[in-house]
Chains A and B, each alone.
Chain A
């Protein structure tokens, strides 16, 4: 019997797990996919919002600002890439500048520090590629960018290192109450837990509705993005948002922490909660829309496009806390934007509530530090050579676009919650994330997985389950 079972190993589930591991608790995380960070957490804008956007008084507003505050320390403790690059909401000459003032006011109410409205002269010094029509912008110096993969993995690894169990490749099929605890049926074993935390992303309504009469309804809202080559990464240095207009909510143009340029997202409600496909219309719209705020976005340098689903609860706000009519069932549902920004604060909030519920004591042996995968490119030549002498794999480049070594891939495979698929290696190391999109390195990475896990070449997948890469030996399929 577990004290707590968390359903979903996205950034929210992982953040909650890590916060819970600060207590003496017997907890587990149940994830249907083969890796953490495989749903909404892996396909989003990768930004930490300053917090001026949400309606004052909402959970979104409160948790966004708190989450943003927590990021600096977390990025040090958990060693993930995070950068306060600042954000701009730009207003073009056809738009109403009063909207910027409204945002500023909301931001102040939400407690966002140092917000300012800048005029074109100042803006163009900061961002020479802003569209010619841009006349003003709201500047939020606390706006930031983060690697969502590393943020999630950092939470999950640190939670696991502090004793939380992870059941990957395990899909929850049913949740029922039994006396004083819950029975969580999965496609493998049934797991029993006193408390269930529902962090199941777009499926959180399904699980809530199994135990509670307060029905939730989550709509999958798709966002499509284009990721541009690092050679385009300096096109803007801040995260550039647009004011909502009659054309829609607008898209952002932002650098990523890894130096690429990201353009998106579209916003379309889709019926299919697995509908992470991109469409010609969606991708096609990004050019014209982004041009309203940033000129000459070099879309020809796109290296990949992707879509993610935001879990929009029809109530509009995050749904967090114990369900009124289902004791011991805690929701962290409807976590759409600014969910990534809020995740640390959601973790804190839910863990506190659960700890109170169960009367948990602090875990004196909690170690809040986690070391990320070493990036040899950050070392001096001397340090690098020292490292290669000790571990020659750090001298062997596997991914030539991103210059990722075998040493980093070995680290990704052998660390806590280690990589077991090509995408898992990619998210941890960036091998395969560059301009050739794994054309050259995937056969090599497959060989390393085969040798190190070890696993059969025929079981190596792109991202788990049936995502197999090769079917058999030549002439034998």
Chain B
């Protein structure tokens, strides 16, 4: 099989990339999706609050997905469901498998990586205690409740105040469970304010910041959870334990981009984001392999995934039509002083679009600070931000015209400064 463009993953990123590639003149596109339907994890995010930026209205996850699915269908873009990509080679041969076609390979001119992310598991968190039934990642519980219709718990403690954890606190409550507490290791929540108010406060669910789970009891099913306060070193403080009789522990402790395929393909990954290192085209170190969405870096809002993926699709189309850009000078964007990383990491002033949105996250809560951008040593812009938190993405927009005025700079620095 041969396609101009293979898109690995049919979630919000893959769908938007496919649509953009098609709209930019590529007809031979194949989306490969491992689940039984397109839409990815949005299908289980049945709460509302999606799409305010993209559609100027509040949609639920499945509704947001359906708008993109409809566009894919309208354009006649091909996709395969229930199909697992097993391997991507560094020369863009994609090996995939399903039960009707068996194992097959697709030679692609370009590949868009859009595999999304997974949740950090109990094991990766090193939570001590027994290993009974009743410990779920928040996303697994979300699937069980929202897609399968089964309740995985009656009395629930949640570790981690990421948005999925907060959303599931409300979901479980509305479906008849008692959510006893949400514990968060950090001194701030990783979730949106709105979710804290509407998912916890509305239901009088306490949020314990700077707390973690120190013991899990129960040999068959969870029988109890002990949480304790942690000090500045994030180690539990003896004597601060709170015990809950409960049957369920949900974990919402961060998401990890799923880059196993990228790794075998030879894609360079960032140790900070765990996603590919990309340039202004969202292209990885392998020419013609692009990345977008949560496989690239974990996003806060799906709207930004769609925007990013649209760029990836557009750039993939350009690559297919025009071939590799080989000679352009590449400038590194340096994240310092509170900026953890940037996506993209490299920008090529000669070939970039007129504007480039550089997204990043900060490493701690900043109040009354500003985002400063330097071209070399020259301060180019300083934008005040009353508050910035690690749970929300920030951005800086670079202009091609402005970069053209500084042809000799070696790098761009983005940092957090006093306002």
Contact = CB atoms under 8 A, between A and B. Distances in A.
A binds B: yes
B326 interface: no
Interface in B344-367: none
Contact of A470 (B82, B130, B150, B219): B150
A283 interface: yes
Interface string B53-95: 0000000000000000000000000000010101000000000
Contacts of A306: 131
B195 interface: no
Interface string B140-178: 100111011111111000000000000000000001110
Contacts of B327: none
Contact of A305 (B126, B144, B145, B151): B126
B163 to A, nearest CB: 17
A474 B149 CA distance: 5
Interface residues of B, number: 54
Given A279-B128, A466-B221, A439 B133 contact: no
Given A302-B126, A477-B177, A466 B220 contact: yes
Interface string A427-467: 00000000111111011000100000000010001111111
Given A403-B84, A466-B220, A471 B102 contact: no
Interface stretch (B115-123, B296-304, B310-318, B383-391): B115-123
B130 A381 contact: no
B119 A472 contact: no
**A: contact size bracket:** 35 or more
B128 A277 contact: yes
A280 to B, nearest CB: 5
A24 interface: no
A400 interface: yes
Nearest to A386: B102
Nearest to B86: A403
Contacts of B220: 461-467
Contact of A400 (B84, B134, B215, B236): B84
B139 interface: yes
A474 B150 contact: yes
24 contacts: A276-B130, A276-B131, A278-B129, A283-B126, A283-B128, A305-B123, A388-B99, A395-B100, A395-B101, A397-B97, A435-B121, A439-B119, A440-B140, A461-B220, A462-B220, A463-B133, A464-B220, A467-B133, A467-B220, A470-B152, A473-B149, A474-B149, A474-B150, A476-B176
Given A394-B99, A439-B136, A474-B145, 13 more contacts: A277-B128, A302-B123, A385-B103, A392-B99, A392-B100, A395-B101, A406-B99, A437-B123, A439-B118, A463-B133, A471-B153, A473-B149, A473-B151
Interface of A: 226-227, 231, 274, 276-280, 282-283, 302-306, 381, 384-385, 388-389, 392-397, 400-401, 403, 406, 435-440, 442-443, 447, 457, 461-477
